Amino acid sequence: MKRIKVKSLLSKPLLGSEVLVKGWVRTKRGNKNILFIALNDGSTINNIQIVVEAASFDENLLKDISTGACIAVTGKLVESQGQGQNIEISASSIELYGKSDAETYPLQKKGHSMEFLRENAHLRFRTNTFGAVFRIRHAMAFAIHNYFNDKGFFYLHTPIITGSDCEGAGEMFHVTTMDLKNMPHNEDGSVDYNNDFFGKETNLTVSGQLEGELGALSLGDIYTFGPTFRAENSNTPRHLAEFWMIEPEMAFYDLKDNMDLAEDFVKYLIRYALENCREDLEFLNSMIDKALLDRLKFVVENEFVRITYTEAVSILLASGRKWEYMVGWGRDLQAEHERYLVEEHFKRPVILTDYPKEIKAFYMKQNDDGKTVRAMDVLFPGIGEIIGGSQREEQYDKLLNRIKELKLQEKDFWWYLDTRKFGSAPHSGFGLGFERLILFVTGMSNIRDVIPFPRTPKNAEF
C-alpha cells in the first residue's frame, strides 16, 4: 500500500478506507485495553489519532512505542468517537521503524524554553512551534519565487565567494586554503595572496547587489535569493552571521518605483501566508503572540508611511524622548529611533528616504542638494529595518568621485564602473532580509528561531 501524508488524509478523508501512515509519536495514552497515539508526520501541524486495541498486538511492541518513536501504521479510517478530532485510524498493523528511549529523549514534556530547544536544534523540528515556523519559511521562499516569476524577473545566481567587498564595509569572512600557521607575507608585512587558491584575497559575500546590477543592466529585472555572511559581532535578536537575502534589481526604476515594488512585494508575501499557512499561523497566534494575525492583516490593509530621513529626525527631536543614542541630522538612526517612529508615532510600517550620503553606501544616487542620497529603508513594527535599498548612481563621474572620496580601491570596481561607461541606465534595487521577514510573519522574537541552524558569534553547532 502507498503511504498517505496526514495533510492529504485530513483534507479529504475517505471514511472506511484502508490507509498507511508513517510518522513520529507525539503522545501515547490509554489503558491496558486500548491505546491512543497522536502521530505527526510533519506535513501539517495536525496529528492523526491512532486507536490501538491492545489485545490484537504484541505487548512488547506497544511498550516500545513511546514519545519520539517512528512508526508505520495501517488501518481503517473511521469517524472518531472521542473529542478533539473528527477522524482517527483504527490500527490493524504497526511497524516500529525507530524506538526512542523514554529516559533520554530530550522533548518529553511540553513547554521547553526556546534556549533549550536551540541547544537541541537537531530535534526541535518535532515541536509544534518549529514545525509551524519551518513550514511557513518554506511557503515564503516559494512565494518569493512565485512573485518575481509572475512579474517577469529572472532569478540570478550571484557568487558566494567574492573578490570584492560590496560596500567597503569590512566585517567579512575570509576564504583561504593557505596554512594559517604559516602565512606568506609581502615586504610591507601584508599577507601575500599570490599563491592562495584564487591568487587574490577572497571573502564570503555580504550582498549580491553589485553583480545583481550587472544582470539588471541587461536582463532588465533580476532578483537574487541566497546566503549572505557578515562577520560583525552583533549579538542581537535580529542579526545572524549567516542569513538569506532577497535582492531584486530593476533597470529603469527610480526610487518611487523601488518603494512601490518593496511595499507591494512584502504585502504579497504576508497575504500569501495568511491565505496558505492558516493553521500554522493560528497556532502561533494562540501560543506565541496573540496579536500576530491582527498585525499581519493590519500591514496588508494599510499604506506604508513615506517620509524623508530629515523629516524623521525632526519628529524624533520633537518627541521629547530621552534616547540612549543621540539624535541629530547626519547621525545614523538606531533601533530605538526606528521603533519609535513605527510603533509609537505612526503605528504602521514606515519607509524612510533620502539619507545623508555619509551614512550610506558609495553606490547610492546622489541628490542635487549635494548632501543626501536616494536611499530607502523599510521599517517594520517589532523588527526595525526589514529592507534596505536605493536608486543607484548611474553617472560614471559621480560614481567614480564617490569611490575616490571614500578611498575605495578604484581598480577593484573596474567591472562595476564599466556598466556606467557602456549603456548606463537609471536603476534601483533593495535587499530584504529573509529571516527578518520570517520573524515578522511568525511572531517569533529571536532570529535564531526562524533559521534551522543559526550561525552567530561563538556558535556554529550542527
Indicate the residue among 47 and 209 with the shorter CB distance to ligand ATP: 209
Q: Which does 196 bind (CB under 5 to 8 A by kind): ligand ATP, Mn ion, none?
A: none
Cα–Cα distance for residue pair 429/376, rounded to 1 Å = 10
Applying CB under 5 A, the span of 24-32, 37-45, 347-355, 380-388 interacting with Mn ion comes to 380-388
Indicate the residue among 230 and 295 with the shorter CB distance to Mn ion: 230
Applying CB under 5 A, the span of 55-63, 250-258, 311-319, 382-390 interacting with Mn ion comes to 382-390
Indicate the residue among 193 and 253 with the shorter CB distance to ligand ATP: 253
Smallest gap from Cβ 314 to ligand ATP, in A, equals 21
Indicate the residue among 381 and 433 with the shorter CB distance to ligand ATP: 433
Rule CB under 6 A: which residues touch ligand ATP? 230, 239-240, 243, 245, 385-388, 431, 433, 435-436
Indicate the residue among 147 and 243 with the shorter CB distance to ligand ATP: 243
Gap between the terminal Cα atoms of the chain:
36
Binding mask 383-402 toward Mn ion (x if CB under 5 A, else -) reads: -----x--------------
Indicate the residue among 119 and 167 with the shorter CB distance to ligand ATP: 167
Nearest to 375, CA basis, from 395, 350, 347, 354: 354
Q: Which does 387 bind (CB under 5 to 8 A by kind): Mn ion, ligand ATP, none?
A: ligand ATP
Q: Which does 240 bind (CB under 5 to 8 A by kind): ligand ATP, Mn ion, none?
A: ligand ATP
Q: Which does 245 bind (CB under 5 to 8 A by kind): Mn ion, ligand ATP, none?
A: ligand ATP
Applying CB under 5 A, the span of 134-142, 309-317, 381-389, 419-427 interacting with Mn ion comes to 381-389
Indicate the residue among 94 and 143 with the shorter CB distance to ligand ATP: 143
Task: Output the residue with the shortest Cβ distance to ligand ATP.
Answer: 433
Smallest gap from Cβ 361 to Mn ion, in A, equals 9
Cα–Cα distance for residue pair 152/392, rounded to 1 Å = 21
Indicate the residue among 349 and 431 with the shorter CB distance to ligand ATP: 431
Q: Which does 433 bind (CB under 5 to 8 A by kind): Mn ion, ligand ATP, none?
A: ligand ATP
Nearest to 391, CA basis, from 150, 213, 224: 213
Smallest gap from Cβ 430 to ligand ATP, in A, equals 8
Smallest gap from Cβ 366 to Mn ion, in A, equals 18
Which residues ranging from 251 to 290 are in contact with Mn ion (CB under 5 A)? none
Indicate the residue among 313 and 387 with the shorter CB distance to ligand ATP: 387
Q: Which does 435 bind (CB under 5 to 8 A by kind): Mn ion, ligand ATP, none?
A: ligand ATP
Smallest gap from Cβ 242 to ligand ATP, in A, equals 8
Task: Output the residue with the shortest Cβ distance to Mn ion.
Answer: 388
Q: Which does 280 bind (CB under 5 to 8 A by kind): ligand ATP, Mn ion, none?
A: none
Which residues ranging from 105 to 164 are in contact with Mn ion (CB under 5 A)? none
SS (H, E, C) the chain: CCECCHHHHHHCCCCCCEEEEEEEEEEEEECCCEEEEEEECCCCCCCEEEEEEHHHCCHHHHHHCCCCCEEEEEEEEEECCCCCCCEEEEEEEEEEEECCCCCCCCCCCCCCCHHHHHHCCCCHHHCHHHHHHHHHHHHHHHHHHHHHHHCCCEECCCCCEECCCCCCCCCCCEECCCCCCCCCECCCCCECCCCCCCCCCEEECCCCHHHHHHHHHHHCEEEEEEEEECCCCCCCCCCCCEEEEEEEEEECCCHHHHHHHHHHHHHHHHHHHHHHCHHHHHHHHHHCCCCHHHHHHHHHHCCCEEEEHHHHHHHHHHCCCCCCCCCCCCCCCCHHHHHHHHHHHCCCCEEEEEEEHHHCCCCECECCCCCEEEEEEEEECCCEEEEEEEEECCCHHHHHHHHHHCCCCHHHHHHHHHHHHCCCCCEEEEEEEHHHHHHHHHCCCCHHHCCCCCCECCECCC
Residues forming contacts to Mn ion in the complex (CB under 5 A) are 388
